[in-house]
Amino acid sequence: MRIAVLGGGIAGLTAAFHLQQEHDVVLFEASDRLGGNVHTEEIGGCLVEWGPQAFLDNEPRTLELVERLGLKDRLVRPTDEAARRFVWRDGKLRALPLKPWQFLFSSCLPFRARMRALREPKAPGPPERDESVYDFAARRIGQGAAEILVDAMVSGIWAGDPRRLSVRSAFPKLHALERDYGSLIKGAKGRGFGPKGVLTSFDRGMQVLIDALGEQVDARLAAPVERVDFDGFDYVVSTIPAPRLAEISRGELSELLQRIPTAPLAVVALVLREPVRVPHAFGFLAPHGQGLRILGTLYESSIFPGRAPEGLRLYRVMIGGRRDPEAVQLDDGELEGIVLDDLGKVWGFAPQPEAVHIFRHQLGIPQYEVGHQELLEQIHAHLTANFRIAGSSFHGVSVNLCVKEALEWSP
Ligand SMILES: Cc1cc2nc3c(=O)[nH]c(=O)nc-3n(C[C@H](O)[C@H](O)[C@H](O)COP(=O)(O)OP(=O)(O)OC[C@H]3O[C@@H](n4cnc5c(N)ncnc54)[C@H](O)[C@@H]3O)c2cc1C
């Protein structure tokens, strides 16, 4: 079969790599490089990620891909310090508990909110309809935890708005815990707390994966697809983000695709010279309404080895997202000012960066909002039998889920 794959991000590259084992595949990518959101730049001796910094090693399909590409020896694991994560609450960084029992004594939430969260097994059951992440969390673990911990988690993973994201589509595992055990705490005892797996990247950043895939596939760069047609192909797989696919689709399909929103995001990378009076850690998240405009900061050079040369530290600050898309349109000077101001409040001193690099993701992260599942069903009803949609806009935003979907499918 002759197959066209549209889009050369991680989803399209993996699909092309996989399908070419049995088919004749050509990939079309609009820009002049492969990888989409996944891109590592080497700047001033630092390895700076534009987008994803890592994936969790709990998805066997990603490890299978790594193995098939001969990249196993190039995997890197986080440092011990990277286990320390913080949340910004009431003007202070608060450590997140490392073990479930530590939650009892942790200051990540005020005392009353912690006590309410512990009464979770007695919370009322779910409504019939799809529910927002905020409503789900407020119902199960209380408003306090929803506004701090869940808000921070939603910012960290989705740059999203918890009052709009669908719990069923954005956090299917949490939704399943309640469905199967009637309680998150009981379910977590059965299946274990939190996401399993170890954060994993490559010695030269996520670019290693993209370069290895790029060497294997027949990709046409600077080849934007302007309409979906099947001339010369038996099958088309599109991994183009929904808003772009909407532009090149027609009629009701185009309208439905436009209804999948995105959260634009700017990444501000800062290089600081040692000594920096900031303890090594994974980083911190800043819940909405806690006085910061930034969404959080990753302490990149404290997480993986080799991210910054001796004597320097690399940080990546996220700003923008579903609740603050305007931030991404600010000019570089304004963005840098906001970021340094916020970091000054958190760290207690005014950081003076050696270098600042800003990356803007105008589309950013797709948002699976309340009703996403029904929207997907309507979209699928408009697709012909020889046209498939895949990638982060539809069935999972993480690198792991994009890879899993691509490897598990064949026409
Ligand atoms: C700042 C940031 C940090 C992230 N961090 C993490 C993380 O740590 N871990 C994690 O698992 N995930 C993370 N993610 C999410 C993850 O990176 C993305 O969801 C994933 O990379 C998306 O891959 P994709 O192939 O679906 O889409 P994309 O990467 O968006 O690729 C789509 C491709 O389609 C191309 N295209 C668009 N229009 C056309 C056209 N008309 N014709 C041809 N090609 C076209 C684009 O140029 C692009 O290359 C992060 C995302 C961002 C933005």
Determine the residue type at 265.
L
Q: Is 26 in the pocket of ligand 1 (CB under 6 A)?
A: no
Among the ranges given (66-70, 103-107, 243-247, 285-289), the one the predictor scored with the smallest mean pLDDT: 103-107
pLDDT confidence tier of residue 229, bands split at 50, 70 and 90: confident
Q: Is 126 in the pocket of ligand 1 (CB under 6 A)?
A: no
pLDDT confidence tier of residue 394, bands split at 50, 70 and 90: very high
pLDDT value for 189: 83
Give the residue-averaged pLDDT of 195-222. 96
Q: Which two tokens stand for residue 333?
A: 């000077």
Give the residue-averaged pLDDT of 80-91. 96
Query: Given the structure tokens 């207690």, which residue do they identify?
Result: 348
Rounded distance, CA 342 to CA 345, Å? Answer: 5
Asked whether residue 4 carries a pLDDT value surpassing 70, the answer given is: yes
> What is residue 43's three-state secondary structure?
strand
> What is residue 180's three-state secondary structure?
helix
Rounded distance, CA 216 to CA 35, Å? Answer: 13
Asked whether residue 193 carries a pLDDT value surpassing 70, the answer given is: no
Task: Please say whether the beta carbons of 403 and 14 come within 8 A.
Answer: yes
Give the residue-averaged pLDDT of 301-321. 97
Looking at domain 109-191, its CATH superfamily turns out to be protoporphyrinogen ix oxidase, domain 3 (1.10.3110.10)
Give the residue-averaged pLDDT of 332-360. 97
Q: Is 406 in the pocket of ligand 1 (CB under 6 A)?
A: no
pLDDT value for 100: 81
Report pLDDT digits (tens) over 120-151: 999 999 999 999 999 999 999 999 999 999 99
Q: Say if strands 296-298 and 283-285 run parallel, antiparallel, or are unpaired.
A: antiparallel
Q: Which two tokens stand for residue 158?
A: 């989705």
Q: Is 31 in the pocket of ligand 1 (CB under 6 A)?
A: yes
Choose which residue among 6, 37, 363 to substitute to test ligand 1 binding: the one with the highest number of ligand atoms within 8 A of its C-beta.
37
Q: Is 52 in the pocket of ligand 1 (CB under 6 A)?
A: yes
Rounded distance, CA 180 to CA 82, Å? Answer: 32
Among the ranges given (63-77, 91-105, 187-201), the one the predictor scored with the smallest mean pLDDT: 187-201
The protein residue with its alpha carbon nearest to ligand 1, atom 30, reads 36
The protein residue with its alpha carbon nearest to ligand 1, atom 48, reads 36
Give the residue-averaged pLDDT of 229-254. 96
Instruction: Identify the CATH number of the domain defined by range 262-366.
Output: 3.90.660.20
Determine the residue type at 402.
C
The protein residue with its alpha carbon nearest to ligand 1, atom 10, reads 398
Based on the number of CB atoms within 10 Å of its own CB, is 378 exposed (0-12), middle (13-18) or buried (19 or more)?
middle
How far does residue 36's CA lie from ligand 1's centre (Å)?
Answer: 5
Report pLDDT digits (tens) over 89-128: 999 999 999 888 888 889 999 999 999 999 999 999 999 9
pLDDT confidence tier of residue 334, bands split at 50, 70 and 90: very high
Q: pTM for this one? A: 0.96
User: Which atom, in ligand 1's list, is nearest to the CA of 33?
Assistant: 49
How far does residue 138's CA lie from ligand 1's centre (Å)?
Answer: 31
pLDDT value for 167: 97
Each domain of the chain, given as residue ranges in start order, spans 2-36+207-261+368-407, 109-191, 262-366
Asked whether residue 194 carries a pLDDT value surpassing 80, the answer given is: no
Asked whether residue 159 carries a pLDDT value surpassing 90, the answer given is: yes
Task: Please say whether the beta carbons of 296 and 155 come within 8 A.
Answer: yes
Q: Where are the alpha helices (DSSP H) in 159-278?
A: 167-170, 172-181, 184-191, 207-216, 242-247, 251-258
HSE-CB at 403 with a 13 A cutoff on CA atoms is: 21
Asked whether residue 68 carries a pLDDT value surpassing 90, the answer given is: yes
128 Cβ contact list (under 8 Å, min separation 6): none
Looking at domain 2-36+207-261+368-407, its CATH superfamily turns out to be FAD/NAD(P)-binding domain (3.50.50.60)
User: Which atom, in ligand 1's list, is nearest to the CA of 12?
Assistant: 25
pLDDT confidence tier of residue 237, bands split at 50, 70 and 90: very high
Rounded distance, CA 218 to CA 293, Å? Answer: 43
**CA Rg value for the chain:** 21
Asked whether residue 191 carries a pLDDT value surpassing 80, the answer given is: no
User: Which atom, in ligand 1's list, is nearest to the CA of 35?
Assistant: 49
pLDDT value for 99: 84
Q: Is 38 in the pocket of ligand 1 (CB under 6 A)?
A: yes
pLDDT value for 287: 97
Angle formed by the axes of helices 10-19 and 207-216, nearest 10°: 40
> In residues, how long is the chain?
411
Q: For 57-75, what is the HEC assignment?
A: CCCHHHHHHHHHCCCHHHE
Q: What percent of the chain has pLDDT over 90?
A: 94
pLDDT value for 119: 95
pLDDT value for 196: 78
pLDDT value for 102: 87
Query: Given the structure tokens 């010279």, which residue do they identify?
Result: 273
Task: Please say whether the beta carbons of 320 and 62 come within 8 A.
Answer: no
Report pLDDT digits (tens) over 271-290: 999 999 999 999 999 999 99
Asked whether residue 352 carries a pLDDT value surpassing 80, the answer given is: yes
178 Cβ contact list (under 8 Å, min separation 6): 125, 126, 136, 140, 184, 187
**Average pLDDT score over the chain:** 96
Rounded distance, CA 225 to CA 206, Å? Answer: 26
